[in-house]
Amino acid sequence: MHNGKGIQIPFMNDEKKNSLKSAIEALLFASGEPLSIQDLVNHLEEKAKLIEIIIQEMIEEYDNTSCRGIKIIVIKGSYQLVTKAENSEQIQKLLKKNKRQSLSQASIESLAIIAYKQPITRVDIDEIRGVKSESAIQRLVEKDLIKEVGRLEVPGRPILYGTTDEFLRQFELRDLKELPSLDLFGQDDDVQEEEISEKEVNIEELK
């Protein structure tokens, strides 16, 4: 019904139509999740039929313009703004680089301790580092580099942390056996940092 180029929207000038397109694009971008026509109606206070026609026109514009890196897809009657498949390689490189660069020194230290001593509690991580690690651990959880793997059966049942499959992918390890031999309790800090940077984390890339 709405296929074809140059869909005409009665009683709407270009300024109004472009304003609605801009608003729809902004809502889809900000959401990051599929939005239904009703979602858009609620935010834009426009008729559902009008929004549907405009979105269809936007879909065609994205699909017919090779210089745009995004498009709108339909998922079970809802609409989502996504990147085009031909740009997936560049996006994956960017995401991998950003994930590493966003790690602080505290996060790097905590991640190394967890990798070698897992499963391990936050209290034990704090003891090894000599400082609090709560924020660093939260950051690593958000980055999907560590996860809760159980509870220590002592009073309070503290969380036990371990690394994830994403950790292995990020640091190009087939399994944890590929981590270099390291005694976090017995070696001095300089030796520890040197060995970690050689295999597990390139410190300079992460800063």
What pLDDT, on a 0 to 100 scale, did the predictor assign at position 203? Answer: 33
Return the pLDDT at 98: 58
Tally of CA atoms within 13 A in the half-sphere of 124 that contains its CB: 17
Give the per-residue pLDDT at 33.
Answer: 82
Task: Please report, for the chain, the start and end positions of each structural domain, with discontinuous segments joined by +.
Answer: 14-83, 93-206
State the CATH architecture for 93-206.
Answer: Orthogonal Bundle (1.10)
- For residue 185, the model assigns a pLDDT of 47
Residue 173 main-chain phi, psi, to 5 deg = -115, 135
Give the CATH fold of the 14-83 domain. Answer: Arc Repressor Mutant, subunit A (1.10.10)
The structure's pTM equals 0.45
Per-residue model confidence (pLDDT) at position 171: 79
- Can you list the alpha helix ranges (DSSP code H) found in 64-121? 88-101, 105-117
Interval 34-61: pLDDT, tens: 899 999 999 998 999 999 999 999 999 9
Distance from C-alpha of 72 to C-alpha of 74, rounded to nearest angstrom? 7
Q: CB within 8 A of 132, min separation 6: which ones?
A: 126
Q: Which residues of the chain have pLDDT under 70?
A: 1-11, 94-102, 182-207
The total of other beta-carbon atoms located within 10 Å of residue 198's CB is 11
